[in-house]
């Protein structure tokens, strides 16, 4: 594209200069090749960045909801078959709650960092006069803030044994009790 930037040395006899004797001396022309992608941002690159950023936002809140929606009944059932003690069930419920707390901390940390990053971009792009970009960044910030509010609600509900987090506890407990019933049914009730 830009031949004067091409990384080649060429002998150019068309534009020769003359030495003191009047003889034509070929002039050495250096051309450096700099790719266009370094100076011009293509739409597809911008789209990829926007999609990956959007996917990260959705994936964090979605990962938390996926964990909450996971059915723990099978795990409870299998745990009861291995160790049919209620203290074992209580320990495993505590482990589930701790895993939920770790997931919540991870998601909150992501959103807090993401909001700080957005704030930097808002400030920087505002100074550059990029009004449309700033408005879009503010919208992304608003979405991230609404997600973090929901994460905080889930955290408070989990601490008070209510809300969305109770589904995983209920499914685990149901599975554990079904496992205890299966043990009783198989070892005692089938004898008569």
Cβ(25)–Cβ(16) under 8 Å?
Answer: yes
**CA atoms within 13 Å, Cβ hemisphere of 75:** 15
pTM, two decimals, is: 0.64
Per residue in 18-62, pLDDT tens? 555 666 655 555 555 656 565 555 555 445 544 555 555 556 889
Picking from 58, 61, 157, 160, the residue whose alpha carbon sits closest to that of residue 106 is: 61
* Sequence spans of domains, the chain: 3-37, 41-191
Give the whole-angstrom CA distance, residue 38 versus residue 49.
Answer: 16
Q: Which two tokens stand for residue 186?
A: 């198989």
Per residue in 99-111, pLDDT tens? 999 999 999 999 9
Phi, psi of 156 (to 5 degrees): -65, -40
DSSP reduced 3-state for 141:
helix
Per residue in 71-130, pLDDT tens? 999 999 999 999 989 999 999 999 999 999 999 999 999 999 999 999 999 999 999 999
């Amino acid at each position: 594209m830009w031949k004067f930037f091409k990384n080649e040395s060429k002998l150019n006899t068309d534009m020769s200069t003359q030495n003191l004797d009047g003889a034509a001396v070929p002039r050495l022309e250096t051309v450096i090749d700099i790719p266009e992608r370094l100076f011009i941002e293509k739409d597809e690159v911008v789209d990829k960045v926007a999609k990956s950023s959007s996917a990260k936002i959705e994936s964090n809140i979605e990962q938390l909801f996926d964990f909450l929606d996971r059915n723990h009944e099978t795990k409870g059932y299998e745990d009861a078959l291995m160790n049919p003690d209620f203290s074992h069930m209580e320990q495993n419920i505590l482990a589930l709650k701790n895993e939920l707390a770790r997931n919540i901390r991870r998601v909150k940390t992501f959103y807090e960092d993401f909001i700080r990053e957005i704030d930097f971009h808002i400030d920087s792009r505002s100074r550059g006069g990029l009004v449309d970009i700033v408005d879009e960044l503010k919208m992304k910030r608003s979405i991230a803030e609404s997600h973090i509010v929901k994460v905080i609600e889930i955290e408070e509900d989990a601490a008070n044994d209510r809300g969305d987090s109770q589904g995983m506890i209920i499914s685990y407990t149901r599975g554990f009790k079904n496992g205890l019933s299966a043990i009783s049914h198989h070892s005692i009730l089938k004898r008569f």
